[in-house]
Amino acid sequence: MKMNKIYLTPGPSELYFTVGDHLRTAMKLQIPSISHRSSLFTDIYSLAENELRGMLDLPSNWHVLFTSSATEIWERLIQNCVEKKTFHAVNGEFSSRFSSFSEKLGKETIKYQVAPGEGIFVDQFPDLEGVEMIALTHNETSTGVIMREDEIAKVRALYPNSLIVVDAVSSMPYPQFDYSKIDSVYFSVQKGMGMPAGLGVWLVNERCIEKSEQLLAKGHSIGTYHALPEMIEKALKKQTSETPNVLGIYLLANVLKDMNVRGIETIRQETNYKAAVLNHCLEQHPVLSHFVKNPDIRSKTVIVADTNDRSAEYIQKLEAFGYVLGAGYSHFKNKHIRIANFPAHSKEQIELLVDKLMEIS
Ligand SMILES: *Cc1c(COP(=O)(O)O)cnc(C)c1O
């Protein structure tokens, strides 16, 4: 008999427990066949947007846009928000990849890079004179390090003229940002949202839009169908430029609605509880230990354990119980395991996982 697996991989990951029901309903309603110019679609867009606004307490001068992925948003941010010079705080593979996109698109790219497992602190930034965009990563999925929300909120006062953009791909919906002190946040849905991949969510305020309009007025290319002014024009009508992932937006709207019924505060508290259970395990464990030594910058949503070069063994042994863990990222493949702690993962699943982990010494 095929055993049902529990995906604790940090994306794609376990589906939120209501996704199956919503998929069946979507098929009944023939959602994949509807026109993206129909009122049915604009209703779905509006629902997704309103549920997200409510959940995140998003100010009214922010817009909710849809793309194919977070990777796409990296490229769009550079095209729309940077004429010459950009800054990237790099503490792992994802933040590094974003900075490489800036280089490939020909921008002067300042990189502030710290060693894996170390944190990003604003008082250590280099000279950012003339930097148009400051790229920060709330949760670096490759190392399990966060840049705390209160640290992110300090950046604006020091660099009031730069756009501050935040990658929250593997932490949403957990973080509580001060949206008056940042300009863009983005995520894709196959991580904390517990959905199938293939949809990016791009939140921008009017400062980003103004910047893209300035670049356009100066004669720069800011892209084509996903240039910000065109995206905003369509978003105001609850539409998209292209034929979007309608099924994905439908699922997102409904998953957000379910999460809001449960309550974002409850979800955050459960995330804290499960992180504490996992942290306690790593502190008691004879072999496993925290890769991120400083508890202040340790992720609650992607827990990274040092395995003493025994990752393959832990992954294989846990797989026999149906638990799919993430290997270490890139050159940490056999040095780390990564355990996602998303809203789709129940307290019971994490408690049982910890029991199994403790048995392997
Ligand atoms: C997964 C991830 C991305 C890329 O998301 P895609 O959906 O693959 O485009 C970007 N940033 C972080 C921090 C991630 O974890």
Report how far residue 322's alpha carbon sits from residue 256's, in angstroms, rounded to the nearest whole number: 27
* Nearest ligand 1 atom to alpha carbon 70: 9
pLDDT of residue 354: 98
* Nearest ligand 1 atom to alpha carbon 69: 9
Residue 1 has pLDDT above 60, yes or no: no
Which residues contact ligand 1 via a Cβ below 6 A? 11, 69-71, 94, 137, 141, 167, 169-170, 188
- The model's pLDDT over 201-223, given as tens digits with 9 standing for 90+, comes to 999 999 999 999 999 999 999 99
Pocket test for ligand 1, best of 98, 147, 167, 188 (most atoms within 8 A of CB): 188
No. of helices (H) and no. of strands (E), the chain = 12, 15
76 C-alpha to ligand 1 centroid (Å): 14
361 C-alpha to ligand 1 centroid (Å): 32
260 C-alpha to ligand 1 centroid (Å): 24
66 C-alpha to ligand 1 centroid (Å): 15
pLDDT of residue 3: 75
- The model's pLDDT over 237-256, given as tens digits with 9 standing for 90+, comes to 999 999 999 999 999 999 99
Of 141, 156, 242, the C-alpha closest to 205 is: 156
pLDDT of residue 234: 98
* Nearest ligand 1 atom to alpha carbon 188: 7
Residue 126 carries which side chain, given as an amino acid letter?
P
* Nearest ligand 1 atom to alpha carbon 168: 13
The predicted model gives 96-123 an average pLDDT of 98
The predicted model gives 183-205 an average pLDDT of 98
Q: What are phi and psi of 180, to 5 degrees?
A: -80, -10
Residue 228 carries which side chain, given as an amino acid letter?
L
Q: Are 52 and 256 in contact (CB under 8 A)?
A: yes
Q: Are 176 and 149 in contact (CB under 8 A)?
A: yes
CA distances in angstroms from 316 to 9, 285, 320, listed in the order given? 14, 18, 7
- The model's pLDDT over 84-93, given as tens digits with 9 standing for 90+, comes to 999 999 999 9
- The model's pLDDT over 284-293, given as tens digits with 9 standing for 90+, comes to 999 999 999 9
Of 127, 133, 124, the C-alpha closest to 101 is: 133
Of 315, 82, 94, the C-alpha closest to 191 is: 94
Residue 224 has pLDDT above 80, yes or no: yes
Report how far residue 121's alpha carbon sits from residue 130's, in angstroms, rounded to the nearest whole number: 20
**Helix residue ranges, H only, 117-205:** 149-152, 155-158
Report how far residue 260's alpha carbon sits from residue 268's, in angstroms, rounded to the nearest whole number: 12
